[in-house]
Structure 1
Amino acid sequence: MDNTKLYVGNLSYEVKEQELQKYFESIGEVLHTKIIFDETSSNRKRSKGFGFIEMSSEESAKKAIEKLNGKEFMGRNIIVSVARPRAKKDF
């Protein structure tokens, strides 16, 4: 299991990937940032309010969870946890 990938929830809908990456870089090197957007609604430019961060090391990922989980970022208290593998769909 890769413990360098983090789930980041309760994001402001206005947050940009660059802003989120910069926030996590205060903890350690960020390899990849992805905010998930609503692809099914008529408002395809709106974030779903969550995303994923990949840190360069497991140590940095743990530190990010400890330091940033529950902290305020752009007006919302964000949730930071180890990302779970994507569930397989049965259809």
Structure 2
Amino acid sequence: MSIFIGNLPYEVSQDDLKQVFADYGTVKSVRLPMDRETGRVRGFAFVEMDTEAEETAAIQALDGAKWIGRSLKVSKARPREDKRSSSSDRGNQKYSRRY
């Protein structure tokens, strides 16, 4: 399981996030995606902790919490959707109709 953290300020670092989440258990990894064009943080991150119980505790404590002047959005991360396959499926449906 992984934790999604949204509404992050652009100045946040992996170390900042690790420190905050360490209060709730062992942080295994922090992923902070960067924008390819600007090179700055995209405003969200993913944190993986040692156990599901630690992740649940962090989510409950930090969702909606004020941090660096922002209200955090913290939840279980959902699997990434492949947008290419869904858009191509819609395109194929257009041509498969029978008249």
TM-score (norm 1): 0.88
| Amino acid in structure 2 at the alignment position of 1:32 | S
Tell me which protein shows more strand as a share of its residues: 1
Match of 1:32 in 2: 29
Provide runs of 4+ in structure 1 moved above 2 Å: none
Provide the rounded CA distance (Å) in 2 between the counterparts of 1:13 and 1:75: 12
Q: Which has the higher contact order (CA 8 A, sep 6+)?
A: 1
Residue 17 of structure 1 corresponds to 14
Select the structure of larger CA radius of gyration: 2
Kindly, what percent of the aligned residue pairs are identical?
35
Structure whose residues are more often helix by fraction = 2
Q: How many residues are matched?
A: 85
Q: Distance in 1 between matches of 2:73 and 2:18?
A: 15
Q: CA RMSD in A?
A: 1.1
Structure 2, unpaired ranges of 5+: 89-99
Q: Distance in 2 between the 1:70 and 1:28 partners?
A: 19
